[in-house]
């Protein structure tokens, strides 16, 4: 009896609207990434069409009961324990695909990629005999990122490094991209400010996990305090533009609570979004720098 399960998945990147080709040029090729998740080594590829994503992995110590579940021809006939086992088998490969697309969306500024990230996801399994079988349908992909960038060798190496360090895309990035996509300047401003608030909380929580409970359950200090005194106490640096962050949050509150207040102009709104984008990128860079220094110190120790 074979004790290995070969698992592969294929899906399509979901787009809210057309954008520049993700992969372009004479040297077009599939871009491959390696992801480690839940003890599995998963190979994920973005195909040359720039729309299709594939992933493969091998699960060791296959249980006979799991194989029988995989052989089921109707997902709805499985009981809850069997469905849970099926999710357990497929979750690492599904989440690795979601992680990769989330980072592509964030790092390449691909606003056109939907926050749903991946659609039409299909799984297949094999015991290594070259015969592939579909996994019972009923599974769903869940995903709960100016100046477009295309996937190239340098960007592939950059994203692979983030994957190796198990970095997840910031939830804040989705709100920043929503700020760019929505038409109303008022809502652009609101979404951008939400992005700034989420980003600082996410980064502070990554730097000091003990802060996650406080940031998630207690009223937050003003935005300029979070990017100023709080960030300095945890990371030793302060963000620039603290007054602008404070004023931006105050205007956001007026837009929320006083619908009759004048909406910002197109120019000042887009300048504000770019300002918030720079603050978030600065936070992310600082977090990556601190993580790298910690890793180097751990090796010396």
Residue 221: pLDDT band (50, 70, 90) is confident
Assess whether 154 and 19 both reside in one domain: yes
Compute the distance between CA of residue 8 and CA of residue 99 in angstroms, rounded to an integer. Answer: 16
Q: How confident is the model at residue 163 (pLDDT cuts 50, 70, 90)?
A: very high
Is the domain of 56 the same as that of 199? no
| Number of alpha carbons in the 13 Å side-chain half-sphere of residue 213 | 1
Same domain, residue pair 256 and 282 = yes
Phi, psi of 216 (to 5 degrees): -90, -15
Same domain, 142 and 228: no
Domain end point (choices 102, 131, 164) = 164
User: How many angstroms separate the Cα of 243 from the Cα of each of 85, 211, 223, 239, 255?
Assistant: 52, 24, 9, 10, 18
101/196 same-domain check: no
**Proportion of the chain above pLDDT 70, given as a percent:** 93
139 falls in which pLDDT band (50, 70, 90)?
very low
Among 16-30, 33-47, 212-226, the least confident range:
16-30
- Region 243-259: what's the mean pLDDT? 91
CA angle 259, 263, 267 (to 5 degrees): 160
The arithmetic mean of pLDDT across residues 267-274, rounded, is 94
Question: Do residue 150 and residue 183 come from a single domain?
Answer: no
Q: What is the mean pLDDT of the chain?
A: 88
Could you tell me the pLDDT band of residue 137, with boundaries at 50, 70 and 90?
low
pLDDT value for 141: 34
Same domain? For 219 and 73 the reply is: no
CA dist., res. 241 & res. 120, Å (int) = 43
286: pLDDT strictly greater than 80: yes
CA atoms of 140 and 75, how far apart (whole Å) = 12
Last residue of a domain, one of 117, 137, 164: 164
pLDDT over 50 at 68, yes or no: yes
Same domain, 115 and 224: no
CA distance 281 to 286: 9
pLDDT at position 142 over 50 = no
* Confidence bin at 275 (pLDDT 50/70/90): very high
- 130 contact partners, CB below 8 Å, separation of at least 6: none
Indicate the burial class of 103 (C-beta count within 10 angstroms; 0-12, 13-18, 19 or more): buried
Domain check: are 114 and 198 in the same one?
no
24 vs 95: CA distance, rounded Å: 26
* Same domain (yes/no): 125, 210: no
Lowest average pLDDT, out of 135-149, 217-231, 265-279, goes to: 135-149
Domain range for 47: 5-164
Residue whose tokens read 């990629």: 113
Q: Which residue has the tokens 């993700």?
A: 22
Contact 48, 24 (CB under 8 A): no
- The residue out of 111, 130, 164 marking a domain boundary is 164
pLDDT, tens digit, 9 for 90 and up, residues 29-55: 899 999 998 888 999 999 999 999 999
Quick one: pLDDT at residue 25? 62
Do 102 and 76 belong to one domain? Answer: yes
Smallest CA-to-CA distance from 191 within 298, 111, 297 is with 111
Q: Please tell me the total count of domains within the chain.
A: 2
Per-residue confidence (pLDDT) for residue 146, from 0 to 100: 56
Residue 260 has pLDDT above 60, yes or no: yes
Task: Report the alpha-carbon distance of residue 301 to residue 296 in Å, rounded.
Answer: 9
> What is the pTM assigned to this prediction?
0.74
CA–CA separation, 5 vs 26, rounded Å? 37
Least confident of 9-13, 134-138, 157-161, 202-206: 134-138
Residues 134 and 228 in one domain: no
């Amino acid at each position: 009896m074979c004790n290995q399960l070969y698992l592969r998945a294929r899906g399509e990147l979901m787009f809210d609207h057309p954008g520049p080709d993700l992969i372009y040029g004479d040297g077009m090729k599939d871009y491959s990434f390696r992801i480690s998740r839940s003890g599995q080594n998963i190979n994920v590829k973005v195909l040359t069409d720039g729309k299709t994503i594939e992933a493969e992995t091998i699960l060791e110590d296959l249980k006979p009961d799991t194989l029988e579940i995989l052989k089921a021809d109707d997902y709805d006939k499985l009981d809850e324990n069997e469905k849970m086992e099926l999710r357990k088998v497929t979750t690492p490969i599904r989440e690795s695909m979601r992680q990769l697309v989330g980072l592509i969306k964030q790092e390449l500024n691909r606003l056109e990629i939907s926050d749903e990230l991946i659609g039409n996801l299909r799984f297949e399994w094999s015991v290594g005999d070259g015969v592939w079988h579909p996994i019972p349908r009923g599974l769903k992909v869940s995903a709960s990122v100016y100046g477009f960038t295309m996937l190239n060798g340098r960007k592939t190496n950059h994203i692979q490094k983030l994957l190796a360090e198990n970095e997840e895309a910031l939830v804040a990035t989705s709100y920043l991209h929503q700020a760019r996509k929505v038409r109303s300047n008022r809502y652009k401003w609101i979404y951008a400010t939400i992005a700034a608030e989420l980003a600082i909380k996410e980064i502070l929580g990554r730097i000091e996990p003990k802060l996650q409970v406080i940031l998630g359950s207690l009223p937050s200090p003003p935005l300029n305090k979070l990017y100023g005194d709080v960030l300095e106490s945890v990371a030793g640096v302060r963000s620039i533009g603290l007054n602008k962050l404070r004023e931006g949050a105050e205007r956001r509150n007026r837009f929320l609570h006083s619908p009759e207040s004048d909406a910002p102009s197109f120019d000042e709104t887009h300048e504000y979004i770019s300002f918030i984008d720079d603050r978030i990128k600065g936070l992310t860079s600082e977090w990556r720098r601190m993580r790298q220094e910690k890793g180097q110190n751990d090796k010396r120790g």
